[in-house]
Structure 1
């Protein structure tokens, strides 16, 4: 997207408009009270005056300005500071564009922290109830140069070409439409309709000198569109017996063809000039084929495929095939670093290379670039989508190779594949969803321990946000739960996995201690640590419905007593405390109940705690008026507080979340009992347990799956693949 020259009369007009805005004590424009016209149009006036950079450096304008207007000038960022602001604004644009300014402020502050832009994060968070202190950044990337919005469902397919000399993108969505985008302006120019199902595949090419798009759908048809007129060309191409997942355009012996791939395990070649299938279907595939791209390598026409739901695709590989002979070329291990299915691929010949590059998008949320001549990955993965990457296209834009991607997060994103200018400095981290967090002390410093679906556990320095040592990687299956304790004076972590086992790790050495804890026959959903008769123990809750206690002092980590059996469904949560001097655990389950267990006898205490109308997914314990209490979080969108001495609910449910409450932490903060709940509604809420009131809402860019309150009174959140640390000091400072 190019930057236009300033208009001759635009500067004085822009300056007069700025003068009409009230100013703050430091002389800056008070955008929060600016006229609505200016919030909508100041960006456009600034761009015409050649002064868009000034607005991009004004955090309050980025918070209060009309999001679509701000997004339209992000490409005019030229300095390091404005490019950083543009990257931060763009990262979660599809989320914050529909929010109120005070909510946008919070998301911008978190995204700045994800880029390690501490000063910018503090600026965005000014006057907020909380401040992000650091965050990992494995799901953000400075290579993302634009976000286009308009589809009402996931964007499943994308292609790029030129029409009338202007670069365009063509996208397909599960909203059933095909959209044509002008990449210079970022606006939709045409909406194509005709498919009766989701549009799963798009390719762009030329037939007889006219630009066309070819689309495939889960209605089993392939359709051809004239991009100049916006009309369908001829009848649909039929032959596939199931959804058409992928389309690629190329030439064979000088004739324009498309190759389509389907859930019916076949690929078919179509002559676009005649509208007919060429030859027999390609039937060597044994699985659904999700992705196809065409290019040349050493002058040979090839297609690159990413296969579907069977054993060939689970390892995230790409395969290269000679289009003339139908034989596989090279080693199928290309693409293996993807941790999930390859859902989309595009290929392009680059100047100065004998081969070509392929850009592959995966269900793991990453985009990776491959040199097809040597079969190796080029550079680091590109991250930014908050869900699966479902569509990829490549084109030259202003002389640069650019990828355009569509994702399950509903966004279309542009990436500069040639950029060497890093903006911000995101911390690497997990490549899967963070489901578990714990906090402890390691060698005199506070650390956080995180567990993820990427099957690793990582340790983070709470003060700096830096990873401590290498990831702990001997797990088999997703890490769903983590708890920390000490063993003979050494800090250890106990991790529960989706493979029904738990493992104990020495955090100082990074080594596993003893044998895995085995006995459950379903995923370990929760872990707590405590002491029993002076000995450190772990308590695990499993989807198999049982709760088990483990002695951590022996190398075999033997089970203590019999399993606790009482939940009539999965046991999903566990927390440890004392009631009347007795060690107890509180568990939550898919039977909508919480239960209290005497750790010494293994017996349930009293009746189940009932009131929730859906699964109890998380439990935390603390004290309220010197009484032991439990706070339970549920898929019914509420949290509840329970007196563990009487077994009765205290007050009304804590309501406000609009999606399941996935996690809860509770402690004493600044002299008052506080709980923090986290939800898949993209928020965390802070509650005063004495009054049952919500003290503040933390709006975040993604779903929050876990929360812990650290010993330094900061809050740690697991959001997507990220770990975020924030402080509530501004909130409690104003209330003290």
Structure 2
């Protein structure tokens, strides 16, 4: 199904004037609370804004807004404090924010030497660590209570676009890079565990399946999504095609083992079930610019948020998720 709203139900929009959206993430604590990392001038120049949004019956309202002197490219919520978020920036820094303290960042970490395009807070029990990925080809491990990085991971030969913790395996994260590889790392060892030459193009995003610790998905400039089983990485376990420009972000569903979503520079968000003969479930077309941010709610079944360079953040339920898949 596709169309002006692509069949999306109960759609709400919020405009960030003069800001182009790069990333959105639902709060793991509060249903209806959402963070968006955005940049002026498409992230090429200017400053950045972290917008914390609240959804209610009337629509989406701004709960808190923080400005930074360079574009913000990614955001992650703390897993142990509902008020704390981390953003990553074009000036090579990470910022820790507290929505209860509107004066400015609690801490700023500046060790990367180029843009930081990815930041993620570990979800595994007992860990309170953050991983960042940068255009300087390194990933770094951070403990927010410590004022410097704990470890630097080197091995990629291109820009790192995405760094995502395993939701299953403590101390394990994946990274996706312009060097066309997906890599798996263990924070307890300095070297890379697994190198997967995933695409014949830059890989812009990766994510872990919430139901299978061995399964990941990648999205790339070749317009495709590929699934990888870590027990045998010679061939992808699925290959999803349909986007007409680069796949910017991929996310597995928190509720369905075989369902995932992707957004693209083709302005669309697509929903897939890789277990089906015709895996494309729905195409949502409700942006007029590159669609860069995407998340699926942990609290409201079927609810999706996305953001784009058209200054809009949207929260909606696509038709394919409105009923059980």
- Pick the TM interval, shorter chain: 0.7 to 0.9
3-state secondary structure, aligned to 1:652: strand
Within 2, Cα distance between the matches of 1:648 and 1:517?
Answer: 39
2:317 is matched with which residue: 688, 702, 707?
A: 688
**Cα separation, 2, equivalents of 1:644 and 1:501:** 32
Contact in 2 for aligned 1:437/1:482 (Cα 8 Å)? yes
- Structure 1 residues 126 and 593, CA, compared in 2 at 3 Å: closer, same or farther? closer
1:631 CA drift (Å) = 0.5
Deviation at 1:648, TM superposition (A): 4.3
Deviations for 1:576-619, whole angstroms, at most 9, x for unmatched residues? 1145x443111100000001111343344434100111100011
Tell me the equivalent position of 1:565: 197
Corresponding residue of 2:233: 602
1:577-656 matched pairs, under 5 angstroms: 577-579=209-211, 581-623=212-254, 626-646=256-276, 648-656=278-286
CA deviation vs aligned residue, 1:68-108 (integer Å, no higher than 9, x gap): xxxxxxxxxxxxxxxxxxxxxxx969xxxxxxxxxxxxxxx
CA distance in 2 between partners of 1:632 and 1:543 (Å) = 18
- Out of 87, 93, 114, the residue aligned to residue 456 of structure 1 is 93
Q: 1:591 to 1:92 in 2, by over 3 A?
A: closer
| TM-score normalised according to structure 2 size | 0.76
Distance 1:134 1:619 in 2: 27
Are the aligned partners of 2:210 and 2:257 in contact in 1 as well (CA < 8 Å)?
no
**Shift of residue 488, structure 1, vs aligned partner:** 8.5
Residue of 519, 524, 549 corresponding to 2:184:
549
3-state SS, counterpart of residue 112 of structure 2? coil
Pick from 489, 493, 497: which aligns with 2:126?
489
* Paired residues of 2:250 and 2:260 also in contact (CA < 8 A): yes
Residues 19-418 of structure 1 mapped to structure 2, 5 A cutoff: 128-136=58-66, 138=67
1:508: Cα distance to partner?
A: 1.4
Shift of 1:522: 1.0
> Take 1:618 and 1:646, find their aligned partners in 2: how far apart are those partners?
21
Task: Tell me, yes or no, if structure 1 residue 474 matches structure 2 residue 103.
Answer: no
Question: Which residue of the partner structure matches residue 433 of structure 1?
Answer: 71
The aligned counterpart of 2:161 is 525
Question: Match of 1:669, SS?
Answer: coil
Distance 1:568 1:621, change over 3 A: same
Conservation of the 8 A alpha-carbon contact between 1:526 and 1:574:
yes
Q: Which secondary structure does the structure 1 equivalent of 2:251 belong to?
A: strand
Q: 5 Å matches for 1:650-669? A: 650-669=280-299
Residues 268, 291 of structure 2: 8 Å contact kept: yes
Evaluate the alpha carbon distance shift between residue 641 and residue 567 of structure 1 in structure 2; reply closer, same or farther with a 3 A threshold. Answer: same
Q: Which has the higher contact order (CA 8 A, sep 6+)?
A: 2
Which structure 2 residue ranges, 5 or more long, are not aligned?
1-15, 19-47
Task: Provide closer, same or farther for how the CA distance between residues 643 and 603 of structure 1 changes in structure 2, counting only shifts above 3 A.
Answer: farther
Alignment CA distance shift 1:133-1:617 (3 Å): same
Aligned residue number for residue 101 of structure 1: none
After superposition, the Cα gap between the structure-2 partners of 1:621 and 1:446, relative to the gap in structure 1 and judged at 3 Å, is farther
Q: Is residue 505 from structure 1 mapped to residue 142 from structure 2 by the alignment?
A: yes
Cα offsets for 1:691-713 (capped at 9, x unmatched): 468xxxxxxxxxxxxxxxxxxxx
State how far apart, in whole Å, the 1-side matches of 2:321 and 2:315 are: 10
Deviations 1:522-553 (A, max 9, x none): 11011110156x44211000011111000012
CA drift at 1:656: 1.4
Structure 1 residues 527, 92: CA separation in 2 closer, same or farther (over 3 Å shift)? closer
Quickly say closer, same or farther: Cα 1:470–1:622, change in 2 above 3 A: same
- Structure number having the greater helix percentage: 1
Q: Which has the higher strand share?
A: 2
Q: Give the C-alpha shift of residue 463 in structure 1.
A: 4.2
Displacement of 1:560 after TM fit?
0.7
Partner SS for 1:517: strand
Normalised by the length of structure 1, the TM-score is 0.35
1:576 to 208, 217, 225: 208
C-alpha distance in 2, partners of 1:501/1:676?
A: 29
- Counterpart Cα distance in 2 of 1:590 and 1:454: 24
- 4+ residue runs over 6 A deviation: none
Q: Conserved in 2, the CA contact under 8 Å of 1:483 and 1:527?
A: yes
SS of alignment partner, residue 133 of structure 1: strand
User: Per the alignment, do residues 517 and 504 of structure 1 end up closer, same or farther by CA in structure 2, a change over 3 Å counting?
Assistant: same
Q: CA 1:667–1:678 in structure 2 vs 1: closer, same or farther (change >3 Å)? A: same
- Tell me what 1:152 maps to: none
Q: Distance in 1 between matches of 2:186 and 2:237?
A: 26
Deviations 1:165-190 (A, max 9, x none): xxxxxxxxxxxxxxxxxxxxxxxxxx
Please give the alpha-carbon distance, in whole angstroms, between the structure 1 residues aligned to 2:125 and 2:137: 26
- SS of residue in 1 equivalent to 2:122: strand
